[in-house]
Structure 1
Amino acid sequence: MSDAPTGADAPAGADGAPVRARARRGRWVLLLLVAAGLVALVSAPTWVTTEGTSTLDGTVRVVVTGAQAAPQTRAGALVLLAAAGAVALVGRVGRWVVAAVTAGAGALVVGGAAAVLLDPAGAATTPLAQATGVVTAQPVADVTAGPAAAVGVGLLAVLLAVALLRAPGAWEQRSRRHERLTARGGVAPAAGPPDERSDWDALSRGDDPS
């Protein structure tokens, strides 16, 4: 009788580790995508409303969206989107870089939204002048709940960056191609003599097959 372990008795560490690593990366990609979506979502509605007088239209009501009042929010959403793509590929050192970028994006959103909360009239001055043709130094402006929500989302992005730094498990860089698992669960280059296809793949990676 063979003493080889069956599928139920075989150790799951070698085969299960890559699966767990992919699942872990997938969760972080999803979280960063959600963060980017939330930033874009809170920057879309109206943040500031104001009124002015135009010689042609009389009283003009002007609404200022979050993206207009704080363009940093849109930039923060794009940075978080890029971080979501990067975290799927980077290794341990790259994870620190992605976490730092994520924290920076969150701080950018918080700073832009806080500036609108502190000075809503300043955020309304340029849109009001464009709508009425008259520059008003300190227009009367009302602020909605949008900037406060953006501050909360930005802080969540910063907390997400801290959690990414503290995430457990190994983070091996996923840049290896044309490799096969050995019997011990390690990684070895694919066997076989080079051919036209392998040369083409090497060129696509930036390597010199010669």
Structure 2
Amino acid sequence: MTEGTTRRLRLSAVLAILLGGAIGIIGSTQTWLTATLNDGSELAVPVPGADALAVLAPLSLAALALGLALTIVGRVLRYVFAVIAIGLGAGLGWGSVRIAAEQPIDSVAGPVTEATGLSGEAGISGIVDQITATPWPGVTVAASVLILLGGVLVLATAHRWTTGGRKYRTGRVAGTGPRDSIDSWDDLSRGEDPTS
């Protein structure tokens, strides 16, 4: 595998995780479900993604942070972050698929309670006539797949990635390459004699 191919795979993995996280954040503010009430008013209560799936925003933010961190971490943390990305994608996907397929009553509980004052699953299910899903749960499933695939790609290619920039390295192997004044200061900071 050439260095150019490795760079493209690295960029693809990081962008997939970032894009999935960004879509998840956007989705948390959009209407996922509409609950129609049968209390005589036929009121339609919109349910945003953050209310329908409470972990949506936190998992999406974690994916964004993880994607950014992947650009600077070392090899061991790449593997750790890849596994975390796979877990984030799987968790986000499972929750989104559940809401898209089932439209469960617990996913509309918060907004319906705010609109009617009723609480408890029995009270809410008694007043909710119908729950309709928008495309956003499906869009978030696609975002979770991006995060998951990005994690798998990192796991498969992390050993070929080049290390981060010089400012992220912690030390230098003695006797390798030319030394400059910054290296001498670094040696002094570690308590080593740069003249030896």
TM, length-normalised to structure 1: 0.68
Q: Give 1:90 deviation, angstroms.
A: 1.7
In structure 2, the gaps of 5 or more residues are: none
In the alignment, is residue 101 of structure 1 matched against residue 91 of structure 2? no
* Aligned counterpart, 1:39: 24
Q: Give 1:192 deviation, angstroms.
A: 7.5
When Rg is computed on C-alpha atoms for both structures, the one with the higher figure is 1
In the alignment, is residue 77 of structure 1 matched against residue 60 of structure 2? yes
Q: Give 1:27 deviation, angstroms.
A: 4.8
How high is the sequence identity, in percent, across the aligned residues?
Answer: 25
CA distance in 2, matches of 1:115, 1:20: 37
2:145 to 155, 163, 184: 155
Q: State whether residues 99 and 162 of structure 1, in contact with CA within 8 Å, keep that contact through their aligned partners in structure 2.
A: yes
Q: Give 1:189 deviation, angstroms.
A: 4.9
Q: State whether residues 54 and 134 of structure 1, in contact with CA within 8 Å, keep that contact through their aligned partners in structure 2.
A: no
- In the TM superposition, what are the counterparts of 1:1-210 in structure 2 within 5 Å? 25-52=10-37, 58-117=41-100, 118-135=102-119, 136-138=123-125, 139=128, 140-167=130-157, 170-174=160-164, 175-176=168-169, 187=177, 189-191=179-181, 198=185, 202=189
Which protein has greater RCO, CA pairs closer than 8 Å, 6+ apart? 2
Q: State whether residues 93 and 140 of structure 2, in contact with CA within 8 Å, keep that contact through their aligned partners in structure 1.
A: yes
Aligned residue pairs, count: 180
- For the residue of structure 2 that corresponds to 1:71, the secondary structure is coil
The aligned amino acid for 2:114 is: Q
Q: Which stretch of structure 1 is more off in the superposition, 21-30 or 87-96?
A: 21-30
CA distance in 2, matches of 1:187, 1:97: 30
CA distance in 2, matches of 1:43, 1:192: 46
Q: Give 1:128 deviation, angstroms.
A: 0.5
The aligned amino acid for 1:148 is: G
Q: Which stretch of structure 1 is more off in the superposition, 66-75 or 132-141?
A: 132-141
Looking at secondary structure, tell me which structure has more helix per residue. 2
Q: Show CA shifts across 1:101-125 (max 9, x none).
A: 1111101211221232324322112
Q: Show CA shifts across 1:111-144 (max 9, x none).
A: 2212323243221122101111123331221112
* Aligned counterpart, 1:13: none
Q: State whether residues 52 and 59 of structure 1, in contact with CA within 8 Å, keep that contact through their aligned partners in structure 2.
A: yes
Report the aligned-residue RMSD.
3.6
CA distance in 2, matches of 1:193, 1:170: 26
> For the structure 1 residues 25 and 209, does the alpha-carbon distance in structure 2 shift closer, same or farther, using more than 3 Å as the test?
farther
Q: Which stretch of structure 1 is more off in the superposition, 166-175 or 22-31?
A: 22-31
